Structure 1
């Protein structure tokens, strides 16, 4: 729907009010980590009125649309119906650190994932993405029976399908992207809330994997998070997220996918040598703690020895390896798609208009950082 604009190219609030999409208000509010009461107070209506706007019972007036856009920091046109939109339920998004996330954070993550899909969908109108190379994937899930229900066996089957052999996976995130999975790396949540490691969904026509470096900027943890979310994609389509058993299954998948047991059986030692633990960590791209855990899991060392190993690692205070030092672990599919689109004359401002986002928001979704210093004024 083409909206009447003012002389500055801004959508007419009255036209937007007539074509108002209730789900866009819900999405913008959740992305801003705001409650209905927060929004109501800011725009001068009741919380019940915001609920009616979001449920589609009544649309907001033109002046309220203006205030909603200003408070939630979106263009007025963002609230217009008619653009392709994904709608996810929170139970279809898998979180690696579910227990440390609040309902508000999970709602933001759901809305964020919807927008990742919108960006990918817009880009796919201009650029051909890699085909989805996941056996049995169709219609938002992997067909039952495509993989073993046992997480370790499923990881072995995927390694075989992707012809990875038994060696270390040098670039975990790039591997996922070459198989048609959309991955993004962004600081997902603001400083005032706990950080989210990673989350994913297979409920759309293309799997989406979101990683955040905020909680611990450590490439080894980051790689495990990516493999963990890949486990959800392979094992859990059609299942409700959030249960302890599902998270454990994803952990087991990740451990086997990154460090196949048949190789680790001969590689890991029966006595814990910290120099060798660090060597295995570097060789296989996993955390030193994961080496100790895998050694215990495969029966190479006792539980008591593993506990001593964890204590020793804490005392060593091993520095993290930042994700940015490892290009193959930084998502690049969407940013490269933007580069190709620009070669065809489709710029970021044009994508922003197509999506009814600001150009700055498109860049944030692509993982661009705002490195400008913060201006602080003394009172």
Structure 2
């Protein structure tokens, strides 16, 4: 009887593994930037039929799965992956509303695919750290003088928890990875989003970053996303308030008030350029910090932004700090290829990708290339 029960359980498990996952169909279509209408026309079927496949109302026959695999460029096993996609946290709303629905769907799909890859890769890769990225509930904390916790208090507390010395943070990417996060380099295909972050049960805190962003902007963006992960995974507020708090956290974390206040009493481009070299943040970030600390007048702020616009510095400033490269993902890929003996085709099979796309997606990690030259792509555009 025991053997029969075990056999039955094994049969159920095998059947579950062979069940078509309609979520993965939507994910695949979105990742290629296709609408239901466009994909149904490629397949030569009615949109209503495709819609029923995507909602799980009907299961596509084997010949349709083969056609989907060909049209979307994923192995058939991709559509039988177990799991479900996750949406974006609410604090990304203000940024994502500037994007088209198709562009947003593609970015979210790519993030989910990357997350699924990492979950598989971490099964064999032993990675432990005593540090972590905390979640702060303002109702349980008190700031200086036992008053309500401010954003500056939260940033100061995190610097103290991580035992950071005074002065600039040497490398934001490394700091995140040293303290329990994974920085995943991406090409979002848009400059409307520099980074996104997710805290999902069973995984490290994930930071998806735009590899094409200047380093000074990347550092500020990572600190901004860190603020969301610290402040907004327990307490959810309005979109505007969360974005403002994350901006304030980034400034306070990178430019502690006690240290930067005396340095910003002189406020001109020459001084800001000097401070940029030291603190490794943009002149724009320094100006915003000066404004938050009420060290400059509204007129000074206005004239600063006018001058930055005339010089063409609003989009990209000169004297960019040295690049900061994610290292953990490279280590994970290298571990599988070199230590565990996976071949590239085997890695592609593990992640339900075709070999060419695996090599394109993880080119820098495979070669140990610190993201120079052509940038790693999240997708294979058809």
Q: Structure 1 length as normaliser, TM-score?
A: 0.81
Q: Deviation digits for residues 42-87 of structure 1, max 9, x if unmatched?
A: 11122221221112111112221122112212112211244xx353
Correspondence 1:331-350 to 2 at 5 A: 331-344=326-339, 345-350=341-346
Contact 2:196 2:225 in 1 (8 A): yes
Structure 1 CA distance for aligned equivalents of residues 101 and 353 of structure 2:
25
1:357 counterpart residue number: 353
Contact 2:95 2:192 in 1 (8 A): no
Structure 2 CA distance for aligned equivalents of residues 242 and 64 of structure 1:
44
> How far off its partner does 1:336 sit?
1.4
Contact 2:194 2:210 in 1 (8 A): yes
* Pick aligned residue for 2:231 from 205, 217, 235: 235
Correspondence 1:26-105 to 2 at 5 A: 26-82=26-82, 85-91=83-89, 94=92, 97-105=95-103
Q: Deviation digits for residues 267-296 of structure 1, max 9, x if unmatched?
A: 212x42221110111211111112122222
1:202 counterpart residue number: 199
> How far off its partner does 1:90 sit?
3.3
1:295 counterpart residue number: 290
Structure 2 CA distance for aligned equivalents of residues 317 and 118 of structure 1:
40
Structure 2 CA distance for aligned equivalents of residues 167 and 244 of structure 1:
30
Structure 2 CA distance for aligned equivalents of residues 282 and 258 of structure 1:
13
Where does the alignment leave 5 or more consecutive residues of structure 1 unmatched?
1-14, 373-379
Contact 1:219 1:322 in 2 (8 A): no
Contact 2:93 2:239 in 1 (8 A): no
Structure 1 CA distance for aligned equivalents of residues 130 and 40 of structure 2:
43
DSSP-derived class of the 1:58 partner: coil
> How far off its partner does 1:244 sit?
1.5
Higher mean C-alpha displacement, 45-54 vs 237-246: 237-246
Structure 2 CA distance for aligned equivalents of residues 48 and 65 of structure 1:
16
> How far off its partner does 1:252 sit?
0.7
Contact 1:198 1:225 in 2 (8 A): yes
RMSD: 2.9
Structure 2 CA distance for aligned equivalents of residues 132 and 96 of structure 1:
34
1:158 counterpart residue number: 158
Contact 1:92 1:203 in 2 (8 A): no
1:220 counterpart residue number: 216
Structure 2 CA distance for aligned equivalents of residues 229 and 175 of structure 1:
13
2:280 pairs with 1:285? yes
Q: How many positions carry a matched residue from both structures?
A: 344
DSSP-derived class of the 1:97 partner: helix
1:4 counterpart residue number: none
Structure 2 CA distance for aligned equivalents of residues 247 and 42 of structure 1:
40
1:306 counterpart residue number: 301
Q: Structure 2 length as normaliser, TM-score?
A: 0.80
